[in-house]
Amino acid sequence: MQEKRKLTNSKNDGQSKYIAATDVGGTCTDTIVIAEGEQLYVGKAGHQYDVRYLGERLRELRLAKGLTVKKLAELSKVPSSTISKMENGRLKPSLVHAINLATALGENLGFLVDRFRRNPTDFVVLRATDRSRIEFPEMNLILEDLNRNFHAGVLEARLGTLQNGATSGDQAMDHDGEEFCHVLDGAIRFIFEDEEFDLYPGDSIHFKSTLDHRWENIHNGLTRVLMVFSDGLSF
């Protein structure tokens, strides 16, 4: 979540204002972002989303939409018991459940983590050590947010680390927009209704997300991919 910190080392290159943030003890976070006036919003380096916070966000949005747990379950096809466990911080959502909940709520998948978007900025520089991440243990997947607090909407980028045996699940996914995936290390297989594509380092794939699709790590170790999503639907 966001923190206000002391501003130091301010400079202006004539186009954008860059400000380094320091904590109370004076240690530089090595995070450089665009500032709004005299307010700078940054997050802790290496922040990992708390499942309890995910539940709070889900409950907050459900109530804002005027939905009961039962009604949200009907709209999303996610069991009421599962939604209740998520809201009470006892369960992390699977990717398929997250997509279905986001669609039912009319929200970006980032609603689950809020991704420092409460104070969006027009320019963000994100250091490698300061990416926030969320884990999907049932898929052996870790995703790191590459957008930080940039305006949510048109493009969303994630760095994915797929552990051995990682898979999006047996159930195919589909949603609005487009997806782009570029393989950095390892190998990933994308599976559509009647086609499969094995991708290796340097390979990429671009497709309409409305197509039923799923993926799996076919490398005997870690696979790292860069994922970009359109239409604001991301995770």
pLDDT at 12 over 60: no
CATH 1.10.260.40 spans which residues of the chain?
51-112
pLDDT confidence of residue 14? 41
CA distance 209 to 191: 12
Q: Burial-class residue 112 by CB neighbours within 10 Å (0-12, 13-18, 19+).
A: buried
3 state SS of 14? coil
3 state SS of 205? strand
Chain mean pLDDT for the chain: 75
pLDDT per residue over 150-191, tens digit each? 876 678 889 999 999 999 888 888 877 899 999 999 999 999
pLDDT per residue over 176-230, tens digit each? 789 999 999 999 999 998 899 999 999 999 999 889 999 999 999 999 999 998 8
Which residues are within 8 A (CB) of 107 and not within 5 positions of it... i.e. 6 or more apart? 61
Are the C-beta atoms of 51 and 94 separated by less than 8 Å?
Answer: no
26 vs 74: which has the higher pLDDT = 74
What CATH topology corresponds to 153-230?
Jelly Rolls (2.60.120)
CATH 2.60.120.10 spans which residues of the chain?
153-230
pLDDT per residue over 77-125, tens digit each? 899 999 999 898 888 777 778 878 888 887 766 656 554 456 778 888 9
pLDDT confidence of residue 176? 78
The CATH code of domain 51-112 reads 1.10.260.40
